[in-house]
Amino acid sequence: MAGEESTLAPPGHLAVTTPARSLRGDLFDPSCPTRQLLDRVGSKWTSMVVKVLSSTGVDEVRFAELKRRMPGISQKMLAQTLRSLERDSLVERRVEATSPPRVHYRLTTLGASLDEPLAVLREWAELHMYEVEQAGSAWDNRVAHTQLLSEQP
């Protein structure tokens, strides 16, 4: 995920944050938009939050409900992921000032639009990842076999 507080502007002048995109926008430079997107969707829970928020009937979901729909996530990671998404304007946060307070999350229009590319990725995964996994197992077996051979005295 993007550094939580590491990106804070040095106090005293406003963050301009236009590092003069070095080359063309190639994947290797950190300011490349694709690289930045990949860093986000690659982080463990981001895509799932987007998916859950986009596939629910009601468009707002509360923190606890969200957590319940994502078995295995800790409060910390859920809060962290949500704040990252909020920072990116992909998610909106609404607080009901009751006691105890209720906090609702929803995708922004921008966030909702991200679900489409992710759906394409999901589709590819469902079509082809089985083949990838099979290839991986076969490769591992070949490696194990090779190692056994070279260990013979």
- Note the residues at the interface with a copy of itself (CB under 8 A): 2, 5, 7-9, 11, 14-15, 17, 25-29, 33-34, 36-39, 41-43, 47-48, 51, 70-73, 86-90, 110, 113-114, 116-117, 120-126, 128-133, 135-137, 139-141, 143-144, 148
Does position 3 bind DNA by CB under 7 A?
A: yes
Name the binder of 64 from DNA, a copy of itself, none, CB < 5-8 A by kind: DNA
Whether 50 contacts 32, CB under 8 Å: no
Amino acid (1-letter code) at residue 22: S
Amino acid (1-letter code) at residue 88: D
Cβ-Cβ contacts under 8 Å for 28 (sequence gap 6 or more): 35
The residue among 41 and 123 lying less far from DNA, judged by its C-beta, is 41
Q: Which structure tokens are listed for 55?
A: 């596939």
